[in-house]
Structure 1
């Protein structure tokens, strides 16, 4: 692979999407990062692994880049004595929190990084506790310390006040701390503190049989259970080199598009409510509830949890249910079109939406804004369109983009994606009803008797979901060595801090909901 004039010797993983992998040295790590950034590539994920086996092996820091030829996965082996690697924030600002999380979990340190504050570790872990080390002494329970105060960046000046919000919020919102520096009601700075939802999921994966891991993946973030399960299964199927039945792939796409619509319906109602338009919340909540109830009938679960399994899907759909799904698409399309007209013509609503929480395309590109929020700020990236895997390579997905980058733009993208997903669902159901490609919905997954790596990459409703998998087959292991799940919220949470600057404090809930980022998917 050629990166900005630099030739990199890569192997291609047997994945559904073009995913390339290479192991590099420290100097190459920096050269590739500079080249990827210079050519408009994006940082997708950064994580660490412990591949030591007694005295052999090493710690490894890994990175996944989105480049012209697909996805590039790089490994940089590190010495346990000096587990340091070159900082990537000069090239990709969104790397900062990922690097800090890797330090907390594994003890690998980005040398030269200006922000070395703990991210997932809130001070309550035992001293020298590194949960992802294979050395049991580094994971010994020990004595928990007192939780420490986070050193927020202070803003000084006449009339500047701080407003702390969270981590405990009203209602059922997940925990996160937001520290506002304000003059009057105008926001000068916002700084976030997350990690309160840390659940030890990555360590839990290491004790699971690979064929059972899809259940945990589907519970990383409940609103994206289909996307995570598909990405996990894609990674596992990559390790096994197995073929997924064609019908199963179409059923997976059906599930993914229904998940996308369910979340957009919920968000559109909540955005209306945050702008004091309770009618919107009532109507979209009704539509979402109808959507979820039929999902329960069709797939056995309102959120379609555990429907995607290694090798395919857990069950097919009956003709009668398929007909009802089509009719529901027609009904939802009509009602959402009516509600969109109401939203567009409501002057009070548009006054709250327009120019609020604006992230212009240049800033979005510089900060690495991705997914739905990125497409509302002129970042035209959608795997279903630009890297279509089966069956999306036959569906000609139309990307939804806006350029103004405000709440109104993020609302418009949601409306457009609802209509496009409804079109896709009709096309998928038509194919499923007319296909003579066989009725098989699950293939056999046989893992190799040797070490192997796999990756899954899926466009969820929020953005790109990525799963990296490590399998220790040659040692007769029955469990995974490492599984890293990455949510697009890692890229987008820092951008929210910029989106709020210059707005008034009462607009923060509206701006925050327009991004609707995941705490659970971020904290793991």
Structure 2
């Protein structure tokens, strides 16, 4: 089955990105997954829908290829009817399907791993949390979460090192179970989801025109990406396009977010490899970067600036001049720091060959985003599709084949320079016109999708509105869902002390698992 065999409907016309929707049966669900797997496509996300009390549930999945994004919906009779397991075609489906079981009570037929993922044994209630009419209850004060059945590694000299879920400092909670011989890692198994805050259910309690603020707080270091994806989905549901000036300002905000995160990570990676000088210098640059964001936009992390219909603030000509000048300064300093990193023998000894994910393994496991591009998976929405203003700016894609910490560092450096170029271009060529367009919520049920290349990778928002514009379901997806399982493979064969360095080179979102 190919695209031509499906009864496709565009999710929006005209569209900033090619996004399609189709309703399928069980055979169609399998055929679509097999088609995308055979043709080198990728699974972006999976989620369950039970829009209103008394309505039938549905399993949903989003697939991406060179054609664009295809979102398929499989209606089910009830929660007892299962949907076909996709883990044979896409390894990253395993945890998504486990989350669907926890949140929506929908189960993959024949799935081998059916352990709870987000439910840590403390949820109560007759219905799953996202079922229509569900009233989730907390656990009794004296109850303890159930033991989690980690996979055990047996053999002479093998022992386990449990790390977390509570960590030192301000790192978010996650449990890492290492099976080791001496200091060599044989296996790593993660248990995440400790930051689950019920965001998807909270969306259904908000007014659609205000819910972008919640979307921007799904993962705080990706506030622009998630807010833009939500607003793109809402605008699609309303049949509205943001003005060209607003889209350019959104891109400028997204690139400033990308640079801020890359600067922070490059410093932290230097520090983890015992080059404190690197962290000091990159932290200084990041602080200056965020101060200008605060001066120009009113928020260091750029929260609440992408709004339905456009952006909340415009940029004056002096502010644009200041950003161009800052880009020149940062580019010069980062170029000097890159030479230091590249020529530092101790740093390169820690980076090169550490935490390697070969391109073949990356493709098989669905590694995506920044980490994927460092392992030969050259997908970047800014370059792959006719997404303005990125296509007009001829955005250049960074890619490496090494797949180790050194490759992920190199991609970060390359992307900093490209984002600085894009910001200069956007400041110089900002079109005239309005920075927002009015939105009228549709009277009839509607849906929309948002798809944005955040700094970590592709962010997806699937929005379903009911009669009168009420939010029935809003599913947000962070690329960390794909990449956390790959981190388990990247650590194998390395020594335990290298785990913090490998982990930081991915820098995945813990809060992304709140979804």
Shared fold per TM-score greater than 0.5: yes
How far off its partner does 1:389 sit?
1.2
Per the alignment, residue 408 of structure 2 pairs with 410
Provide the C-alpha distance between the structure 1 equivalents of 2:271 and 2:127, rounded to a whole number of angstroms: 43
How far off its partner does 1:142 sit?
7.4
Counting only pairs closer than 5 Å after superposition, residues 327-342 of structure 1 correspond to structure 2 as: 327-342=325-340
How far off its partner does 1:407 sit?
0.1
Provide the C-alpha distance between the structure 2 equivalents of 1:387 and 1:96, rounded to a whole number of angstroms: 28
Provide the C-alpha distance between the structure 2 equivalents of 1:134 and 1:140, rounded to a whole number of angstroms: 15
Note if contact 1:126-1:143 (Cα within 8 Å) is conserved in structure 2.
no
Note if contact 1:83-1:107 (Cα within 8 Å) is conserved in structure 2.
no
Provide the C-alpha distance between the structure 2 equivalents of 1:123 and 1:130, rounded to a whole number of angstroms: 13
Secondary structure of the corresponding residue to residue 139 of structure 1: coil
Provide the C-alpha distance between the structure 1 equivalents of 2:292 and 2:31, rounded to a whole number of angstroms: 51
Q: Which of 436, 439, 451 is the matching residue for 1:457?
A: 451
1:203 pairs with 2:201: yes
Note if contact 2:179-2:187 (Cα within 8 Å) is conserved in structure 1.
yes
Q: Which of 516, 519, 523 is the matching residue for 2:514?
A: 523
Gaps of 5+ in 1: none
How far off its partner does 1:390 sit?
1.6
1:34 pairs with 2:25: no
| Per-residue deviation, residues 431-459 of structure 1 (Å, max 9, x unmatched) | 02xx4x32x11100112111111000000
Provide the C-alpha distance between the structure 2 equivalents of 1:81 and 1:228, rounded to a whole number of angstroms: 29
Per the alignment, residue 345 of structure 1 pairs with 343
| Per-residue deviation, residues 112-135 of structure 1 (Å, max 9, x unmatched) | 010000000000111545110113
1:513 pairs with 2:507: no
Secondary structure of the corresponding residue to residue 211 of structure 1: coil
| Per-residue deviation, residues 40-79 of structure 1 (Å, max 9, x unmatched) | 110000000102443xx31111000002321000001112
Provide the C-alpha distance between the structure 2 equivalents of 1:185 and 1:49, rounded to a whole number of angstroms: 45
Per the alignment, residue 439 of structure 2 pairs with 445
| Per-residue deviation, residues 316-342 of structure 1 (Å, max 9, x unmatched) | 011111111111000000000000000
Per the alignment, residue 139 of structure 1 pairs with 136
Per the alignment, residue 191 of structure 2 pairs with 193
Per the alignment, residue 304 of structure 1 pairs with 302
Q: Which of 257, 260, 276 is the matching residue for 2:258?
A: 260
How far off its partner does 1:141 sit?
5.7
Per the alignment, residue 493 of structure 2 pairs with 502
Secondary structure of the corresponding residue to residue 323 of structure 1: helix
Q: Which of 10, 13, 25 is the matching residue for 2:11?
A: 13
Provide the C-alpha distance between the structure 1 equivalents of 2:510 and 2:466, rounded to a whole number of angstroms: 31
1:314 pairs with 2:308: no
Q: CA RMSD in A?
A: 1.3
1:171 pairs with 2:169: yes
Counting only pairs closer than 5 Å after superposition, residues 36-75 of structure 1 correspond to structure 2 as: 36-54=36-54, 57-75=55-73
Provide the C-alpha distance between the structure 2 equivalents of 1:303 and 1:33, rounded to a whole number of angstroms: 37
How far off its partner does 1:404 sit?
0.6
How far off its partner does 1:179 sit?
0.2
| Per-residue deviation, residues 152-210 of structure 1 (Å, max 9, x unmatched) | 00000000010000001111100000000000000000000001000000000011110
1:491 pairs with 2:482: yes
User: Structure 1: which 4+ aligned runs deviate by more than 4 Å?
Assistant: 140-145
Per the alignment, residue 104 of structure 2 pairs with 106
Note if contact 1:231-1:456 (Cα within 8 Å) is conserved in structure 2.
yes
Gaps of 5+ in 2: none
How far off its partner does 1:484 sit?
0.3
Q: Which of 433, 457, 463 is the matching residue for 1:469?
A: 463
Secondary structure of the corresponding residue to residue 326 of structure 2: helix
How far off its partner does 1:245 sit?
1.0
Note if contact 2:200-2:473 (Cα within 8 Å) is conserved in structure 1.
yes
Counting only pairs closer than 5 Å after superposition, residues 156-305 of structure 1 correspond to structure 2 as: 156-305=154-303
Provide the C-alpha distance between the structure 2 equivalents of 1:248 and 1:212, rounded to a whole number of angstroms: 18
Secondary structure of the corresponding residue to residue 61 of structure 1: strand
**Equivalent residue pairs, number:** 512
Secondary structure of the corresponding residue to residue 210 of structure 2: helix
Secondary structure of the corresponding residue to residue 163 of structure 1: strand
